Amino acid sequence: MEPHPTPDATLKGQQDETNSVLEELTREYKEAKIWAAANALPELTSFEIVTEWLNSVYTTPDRDITEGDSTPADSASITSTEYYGQESFRKYQPKLFKLLGGIVPPDINITTVSRMKGGANNRTASIGLDWPAGKRLKVNGKLLFEARNHDIEVVAVFRSSRRPVPGKHDAELIDNYAILTFLVANGLRVPTVLAFDSTPNNSLCVPYMLLHRIPGIRLEDAYPSLTQKQKERVAMLIARELLIYDGVECPKKGILKGANYCIPASISFQENRPPTFKMTITPFTTGRRRKLPINDRGSTHLLMRGMFNNWLVLCATADDLPVDVRSIYNYCFGRLLDALDIMHERGYFDQSTSEGIALYHPDFFPRNIIIGASCRRPDNMTFEVEGVIDWDGAMALPEVLRATPPSWLWEWMDEPQVTGIPLWEEWFGDSDELPASRFSYRLNPDERKIKEKFDQSVGKERAHIMYKIEYTWIRRLWKFALYGLPFESLQEVSRFQKFMENWELFVQETAHNFESDDIKEWKPVDPEVFKTIQQYHGAAGAQSSRTPTPYPSPCIFDPE
């Protein structure tokens, strides 16, 4: 394969800069080799291979970073150096190549190691592999392609944590491997794991995963420019994808995990799954630093009650929080438990709320959905969903808890001013659970057609579960039961406050439908509790010496 051309040399002194970079890379390589020998690590790739690569692969100059790389978003980062305090890609790239040289089969050429838009939790890079003629690609029991009579380029994604714990094994990486391998075995279109190492015992000193890249483009990048007919097709495809997940039935509620004793710590282009491979469903846990498990007793109501009781236990034993702050958390969780009791008394938790346990993707949004690139042609109506990525934290849930409608299909917007719903509420999904009656006046004729196409494709039964008001309240409350109250975020304080205001109004307006007067003891939440929470976390943030991050710092009330 011909080496990639180097960028045009138009800047004065570029040759000197290139020479200094090569000298630096050479020095780093020699130091890394000495370090590897001193630590009894496998010998690194030969210096000849590294120098050949340096002549054929180039970094992306900082001036060529795309807008997507420089704009913060939920799933995108700006440069790792500026936003996450990590080393520049120019220095990271040769180290990554050295690692890849040891895990990629020797007859496979590494053609590119280039910058790629990553996420808040993971640093990524795009890897090009020149797969030789006559060699098939089978990994973990999945045949990606048969042997061809010509070379083929295989594009992979290298992913590692932005915040690895030095010297520690990454159990979540084994979980990711188990989930993806399980889903591939069930016929789902998800990335195939080519290699991974859950330990830091490698030349990068961090756990990593190498994934086969699904061809296509992210739906979030394509959807705004699609034609009306194409958007209606997307609505049909999304409905079909959700119904596929419904078909992956699970024996109980919980979180999908890998059984550590059944999965090796690392694999590299292994044709078949480990013979002892096992994916398991573990009970939900409450808390972060201290985790309390909740056993599934069959009923969704009892599961949520157990979660709220666990949060109350954590409140009572959180010695790192002042007494007044603990009492406020205790008060807020108690109010949520009161809401749960009212829902139960009113009969919201019927038998169906605990049935139909199946696969659930907790981040099923356009940023994680890959569609065929042919959708770029306005007349193309044959594109498909090529795959779905980012399965971290996949769960097994009853249908009622899985049935959040993908309202982004018909309420797509760059800014949330149209509905008046704050941006954080859109992200967290609460906007999906607001009364469905608003669609009758909110949507224009084209948006209404998209929604009708989705509802028709998903079926009347599922649509009923999505829009039934009692079930939407269960799902809104479920998020507090599962994730708690991370009140160090002003957005989360507002979300809880909004829930309480909405619930109080709903209980009052519907009290006449029930014999019990369940509004007697329901009083508005005292706004002073929120002021106290914000004052405490504001003071704690001012005293912290941690490097600023684009998300709130963890506490015992953070999401898992």
- In this prediction, residue 247 has a pLDDT band, given cuts at 50, 70 and 90, of very high
Q: Report the pLDDT value the prediction gives residue 404, as an integer from 0 to 100.
A: 92
Dist CA 152 CA 331 (whole Å): 61
Residue 451 in this model has a pLDDT that exceeds 50: yes
The CB-based long-range contact list for 303-311 (8 Å cut-off, 24+ gap) reads 303/253, 303/481, 304/340, 304/477, 304/478, 304/481, 305/337, 305/340, 307/481, 307/482, 308/333, 308/336, 308/337, 308/340, 308/481, 309/337, 310/286, 311/286, 311/287, 311/481, 311/484, 311/485, 311/557
Q: Average per-residue pLDDT in the chain?
A: 78
Lowest mean per-residue pLDDT among 105-114, 139-148, 307-316, 355-364: 139-148
pLDDT in tens, 334-368: 999 999 999 999 999 988 888 999 999 999 999 99
Q: Report the pLDDT value the prediction gives residue 558, as an integer from 0 to 100.
A: 36
**Over pLDDT 70: what percentage of the chain?**
74
Q: Report the pLDDT value the prediction gives residue 481, as an integer from 0 to 100.
A: 95
pLDDT top residue among 413 and 92: 92
User: Which sequence spans correspond to the domains of the chain?
Assistant: 14-216, 300-348+403-444+459-560
pLDDT top residue among 364 and 87: 364
CA 358 vs CA 243, 365, 402: distances in Å: 10, 18, 8
Structure tokens that stand for 252 in this block:
């109980």
Q: Of 501, 548, 542, 541, which Cα lies nearest the Cα of 525?
A: 501
The structure tokens 């056993």 sit at 295
pLDDT in tens, 391-445: 999 999 999 999 999 988 988 765 444 444 444 455 455 767 777 776 777 788 9
3-state secondary structure of 137: strand
pLDDT in tens, 140-188: 888 888 888 888 888 999 998 877 777 788 888 999 999 999 999 899 9
pLDDT top residue among 319 and 350: 350
Label each residue of 18-77 as H, E or C: HHHHHHHHHHHHHHHHHHHHHCCCCCCCCHHHHHHHHHHCCCCCHHHCCHHHHCCCCCCC
Dist CA 477 CA 42 (whole Å): 52
Q: What is the CA radius of gyration of the chain?
A: 26
Dist CA 205 CA 287 (whole Å): 29
pLDDT top residue among 166 and 86: 166
Q: Report the pLDDT value the prediction gives residue 235, as an integer from 0 to 100.
A: 98
Residue 68 in this model has a pLDDT that exceeds 60: no
Mean pLDDT across the stretch 317-328?
81
Dist CA 485 CA 493 (whole Å): 8
Dist CA 78 CA 70 (whole Å): 4
Q: Report the pLDDT value the prediction gives residue 468, as an integer from 0 to 100.
A: 93
Dist CA 95 CA 53 (whole Å): 12
Residue 427 contacts residue 421 (beta carbons within 8 Å): no
Mean pLDDT across the stretch 460-479?
94
Residue 247 contacts residue 358 (beta carbons within 8 Å): yes
Lowest mean per-residue pLDDT among 451-455, 481-485, 547-551: 547-551
Q: Report the pLDDT value the prediction gives residue 55, as an integer from 0 to 100.
A: 43
Q: For 229-246, give the DSSP string.
A: HHHHHHHHHHHHHHHHHH
Q: Which residues of 276-294 are buried (b: 16+ CB within 10 A; e: fewer)?
A: ebebebeebbbbbeeebeb
Q: For 62-116, give the DSSP string.
A: GGG--HHHHS--SS--S-HHHHH-PPPHHHHHHHHHHHHHHHS-TTSEEEEEEE-
Q: Report the pLDDT value the prediction gives residue 159, as an integer from 0 to 100.
A: 92
Mean pLDDT across the stretch 208-213?
94
Residue 58 in this model has a pLDDT that exceeds 90: no
Dist CA 410 CA 390 (whole Å): 23
pLDDT in tens, 534-551: 777 665 544 433 333 222
